Amino acid sequence: MRIGSYQLKNRILLAPMAGITDQPFRRICAHYGAGLTFSEMMSTNPQVWHTEKSKLRLAHHQEAGINAVQIAGCNPDEMAKAAQVNVEYGAELIDINMGCPAKKVNRKMAGSALLQYPDLVKRILDAVVNAVCVPVTLKIRTGWDRDNRNCVEIARIAEQCGVQALTIHGRTRSCMFEGEAEYDNIKAVKQQISIPVIANGDITSAEKAKYVLNYTNADAIMIGRGSLGNPWLFQVMEGLIEKDSIVLEPSLNEKCNVILQHIQDLHHFYGAEKGCRIARKHVAWYLQGIQANPVFRQAFNAITDPKEQLIALEDFFNLILMDKEKNVRTTT
């Protein structure tokens, strides 16, 4: 799939997620097959552009692939300026957020709140597209609520404004993350526009990914919550979608090594205190797919020293691997 001048390596993308898709996580997902990853959402407020938090969000590594940055706001001029600043900082693709359902974002008339105002959507898209020389993409929901699903109208506006690709999360803003994704509406959008359409929502397995692509005729899929604690999902999906073959997840030993490296990278990237804090949620997600252990999780969450976190996690993984080896011996 192409977005502007960029040829992606496959049709499986990592969604931008606040507090999650930082540089360390994007690198892992790209390694396991994500064709494109996005930064966390960046505000258009110029007062925060040069803060330490923003610098960390913008931090990029070539191993993560194309440097795609998502911005959010409601003022066309500020959005255009934010896009320009991010391109100056190295962004190779600008994604506009009109899909976030969070109240603190919507109260500022940003994210999915903008879907209520198609004229403003057009002004923002025109401003950003004309302000930068890199591809501009857009992420939306199917509408503000079930009585106001206007994704086809917004999609047409996006295409007319020069947006290079459109991602649709198959829910309205009022649905938040409840209920099932509306693939019929994504399919309807795909039938009405010619730019690439990326389907998003409830895609947590390779089989579901293939089904959504076939049903909606979308050009690509985007994985969000399904990647939490499960970055190797991209590898399995790529095998089935791009090669029509079954690709197994990494071995338990490889997973444990990747997790340890991820936690160490978080410590280095954020520093000891913040790195330890962020590591806790990632470990919780990883353990759901390996071995849920509330006792260990509680003990791990109490650790405040980076080295102690790594030692505790490595010891826990060694016990799991030893138990697995014993089970193999007894069954053979």
Report the binding-site residues for FMN. Answer: 16-18, 70, 139, 200-202, 224-225
Q: Which residue positions form the known binding site?
A: 16-18, 70, 139, 200-202, 224-225
Strands 136-141 and 165-169: parallel
CA dihedral sign, ordered 121, 123, 126, 128:
negative
Cα-to-chain-centroid distance, residue 321: 30
Distances (CA, A) of 16 to 77, 94, 225, 242, 318: 23, 12, 10, 23, 33
Q: Tabulate helix, strand, coil % of the chain (nearest 5).
A: 55, 15, 35
| Tokens 């890199």 found at | 134
- Asked whether 41 and 18 are in contact (CB, 8 A), the reply is yes
**Of 19, 60, 67, 3, whose CA–CA distance to 224 is shortest?**
19
Strands 2-3 and 6-7: antiparallel
Active site residues: 100
DSSP string, 203-254: --SHHHHHHHHHHH--SEEEESGGGTT-TTHHHHHHHHHHH-S--PPPPHHH
C-alpha to C-alpha distance for 241 and 324, rounded to whole angstroms: 31
- Asked whether 234 and 26 are in contact (CB, 8 A), the reply is no
